[in-house]
Structure formats: C-alpha cells, structure tokens
Amino acid sequence: MAAFSYNASAELFPAAIRKKKRAGFAYRRFDTAAAAVQFAMEQLPADSLNGAYLQVDEARFDQRGIRTLYESEHFPLERRPRPDASDEADADAA
C-alpha cells in the first residue's frame, strides 16, 4: 500500500439507501483518518459498514480497505474490541 496519512481529514459515507434505516448512520466528517477508521471498525453496526466507504483526500476505501487500514501496524490509535451481543448474553447468564 502506498504511504497513507492517518492524520489527514476523512469523510465516512453510508451505504446506498435500502428499505430499512441504517441505525442512524449518516455521512460523517472526521478530523483524522485514524478516528474515522476506528469509528467504522469499532462502532458501526456490521450492516452499516458493509457498503460504506471512507474518503481520504482523493482516495476511497471500501469495507475491505477500511479493515486493512485498521489492522495495519501503522494504525496510530489503540484498538478496542467491538461490542458483541454474545458477550452481553454471557454476562447476563452469570
């Protein structure tokens, strides 16, 4: 991958409109690409991430590209586990 600036501003666009609402996800602008990537990977519902894209300068990244940026050794932010419904169910059972 060519040099990528996680410090550049970024825009995150939702997937194309479908019949159901996208859980409140709409276009969002971020001061840094790192924050946008982190938001997409850690906070967006999976169905909202599918079909969404990130634009940084003139480059566009689909779901796969966003994941690659997030998993890169150059990703500057601390990664947090994505909330999982099964973890909540396990906690309720205990």
pLDDT tens for residues 42-79?
988 888 888 899 999 999 999 999 999 999 999 999 99
Give the mean model confidence (pLDDT) for residues 81-87.
Answer: 59
- pTM of the predicted structure, to 2 decimals: 0.78
Q: Give the chain's radius of gyration (CA, Å).
A: 14
Hey, which bits of 1-94 come out as E strands? Answer: 10-13, 28-30, 53-56, 59-61
Asked, for residue 2, whether it belongs to a domain, the answer is no
Count of domains forming the chain: 1
What span, in angstroms and rounded, lies between the C-alpha atoms of 30 and 36?
6
Mean pLDDT of the chain: 82
Residue 24, pLDDT score: 59
- Please tell me the predicted confidence (pLDDT) of residue 23: 53
Question: What is the per-residue pLDDT for 21?
Answer: 55
Q: Which of these, 78, 22, 32, 71, lies nearest to 54 by C-alpha position?
A: 32
Place of tokens 């990664």: 79
Place of tokens 């938001």: 39
User: Structural domain of residue 61, as residue ranges?
Assistant: 10-16+24-80
Whole-angstrom distance, CA of residue 64 vs CA of residue 62: 5
Note the pLDDT of residue 61.
97
Q: Which pLDDT value is given to residue 80?
A: 87
Say if 4 falls within a structural domain. Answer: no
Q: Is the pLDDT of residue 89 over 50?
A: no
- Asked whether residue 45 is domain-assigned, the answer is yes
